Structure 1
């Protein structure tokens, strides 16, 4: 029995998210269907975490255990030959028995794309949030500096989450302007439900003067969602990388 880790890239446009659900197409289910074809058995697949409908991934990680003669270096090729066009296995590695894609992770990196062209673009509509108004980048950078560090991010979490501990650490927030796009990159030890999208919405609202500096500070101090900004749409969000200890 081998414990296999895979790194996955997918276009989330036509998915109802990562996790299997009774109705709707999911990434996890597509991968499990392919593994069943390759091994002849049902194979449970553990993801590093969920992504919502229309959210993309360039570095999602999952692991599964199989008894199979397929060489590890050929697993990605074998899976890609059967997977649909919007999922690709980028890497496959045999891992120690105790490795778990979710519980072994010590951090994640997400990227978020905002398209700032004057007119909406059909070519990026599934991959970016279109904003055609000016943003005060100095205020936005002020906001990123306040968000970096260890805080209770309860005010930046969507309702419906059952998580009790809402303290998280953000190690860095980078902002890069590439052509007509603005890219936010967040790296931290973990993120709450919709946290990255709410962080982006809050920074955008700050830059557009829809929220004030005091609002961001109150969201951090009180944990009240009303002080944070709107939830940015899902199609601009990318799970970029999952971070593991060097031992893994």
Structure 2
């Protein structure tokens, strides 16, 4: 018997305490302080089940999300640790992503976002437009971020401006903002590098413009980073 125990200890099968299957699942596990697109889906499911009360969903797994998960776990007889692993995924009726699916999701980079944006070059400007048949400036951003980064952003420029992290110098994939017909952010585009940005212009539709352009340079407000 002693030999068996020793062998188990050497192979790592014998542990000092109970196995926490929720916390030992690796990259696919969702837990507090993580930032991942799957958190948005998690919050939506918890909301439908009456455990997540906030109308604001994001990729961040914060205190309110953890509390909702713990309440759900208690209700369903699970270990209430606030960690979404195999057992909690199953109880939520969510399909746990494989490592290859997670890798595919993480391949959505700022460069991917820019590539998606560029393919809509020439689409006409349409007030209130949010499809490839016609975009206004914020409709274009929302559509491209959904397709190119699997990220949901607000519908208006003013609301987008209140989201994300302010940066001193834009990098590829950041959103650049401008003050045009009213005080505050009222126009925006995606920075593509080379001091240029792509946007839906009321005069040209989806087009690429230099930040040095005399009209836009005088109205530039700054940049925000939505995706890392």
TM-score w.r.t. the length of structure 2 is 0.31
In terms of fraction of residues, the more strand-rich structure is 1
TM-score w.r.t. the length of structure 1 is 0.30
Which of structures 1 and 2 has the bigger CA Rg? 2
The answer to which structure, 1 or 2, has the higher relative contact order (CA under 8 A, 6+ apart) is 1
In terms of fraction of residues, the more helix-rich structure is 2
